[in-house]
Amino acid sequence: MVDQIRADQAQLPKSKRYKIGDILKAVGLKKATYHDERKRINNHQDKYADLKIQIKKITDNGKYRGRLTYGYRRVQTELVKLHIRVADTVTRRLMSELGVQVSLYNRHRNGKYSSYRGKVGQVSPNLLKQDFCQSQPYKTLHTDVTQVRLKNQKWAYISAITDEASKEVLAFQISNSPNRDLITKTLDGLIAKLPTNAKPIIHSDQGWQYQLNYYTQKLSDNSFIQSMSRKGNCHDNAPIESFFHVYKTECLAGFPPCKDLTELKTVSEEYIYWFNHQRISLKTKGMSPCEYREHTLAA
């Protein structure tokens, strides 16, 4: 209050201003108390100043295409790596003060593709039954197809295979049709990347592509084990559904649609590399997919 009175008087001529002693006497405040409080305020430092710097660095490192992707849980995980332990509420409050909160993931994404055409070939049993607890890489893989609309309003179709344990994207192909060639190229990309001794379960939905002989025979030729979701149950293949949601949210949402397949491939390849090598996840103990795979296989 005293400082406010002094500030108001600063607009007046000196001859009409009250002395500080007169003001203190009027408000009943001791001079020593006033000067002690002013000194304390002037010497006050933000005790979270260093922590704010670290939080800003972490969230900047978690940016993709200039946008924030790290929520407070992932920020907490990175702080622990730096031997900084602080309450969740503090981290959330400081992120709010810094303006580095994430708001991408609550938006609904369209472009869901359904390849179900009934029983057109061989339907395999559901070996996983929503038990997504695999911790060893190359043991359980998930595959599916989704679609993305291009600038010319045509659809691009994306086929991917992810590792349940590491979350690593092991194969990723884009085409203008969800045809046999797309699925075959996806499998070829997977086979080229897998260790020769890997014989994983490959889990998909009951899409027509995954029922036909060319697909089931290729799995058999490589000693892969086929598993399928129940009819019309997306939760049975939740890991790949989750990846597609994150991919569309972080890589594509909020930006102008890609003008053609070539641009979409370029943007997607950059994202997949970042996702595999840099993007940390709580599900992989705060490591990127590749870090988790290397760490686990070396143990």
Contact predicate 194/168, CB 8 Å: no
| Three-class DSSP category at 148 | strand
pTM of structure: 0.80
Q: What is the pLDDT, as a whole number, of residue 12?
A: 56
Nearest residue to 205 (alpha-carbon basis) of 117, 140, 272, 137: 117
- The H or E element containing residue 224 is none
Q: What is the pLDDT, as a whole number, of residue 212?
A: 92
Q: What is the pLDDT, as a whole number, of residue 233?
A: 81
Nearest residue to 148 (alpha-carbon basis) of 257, 238, 45, 48: 257
Q: What is the pLDDT, as a whole number, of residue 2?
A: 47
The β-bridge relationship of strands 140-149 and 155-163 is antiparallel
Q: Which residues contact 17 (CB under 8 A, 6 or more apart)?
A: 9, 10
Burial of residue 295 (CB within 10 Å: 0-12, 13-18, 19+) is middle
Residue ranges of the chain with pLDDT lower than 50? Answer: 2, 108
Q: What is the pLDDT, as a whole number, of residue 120?
A: 62
Residue 36: how many other CB atoms lie within 10 Å: 11
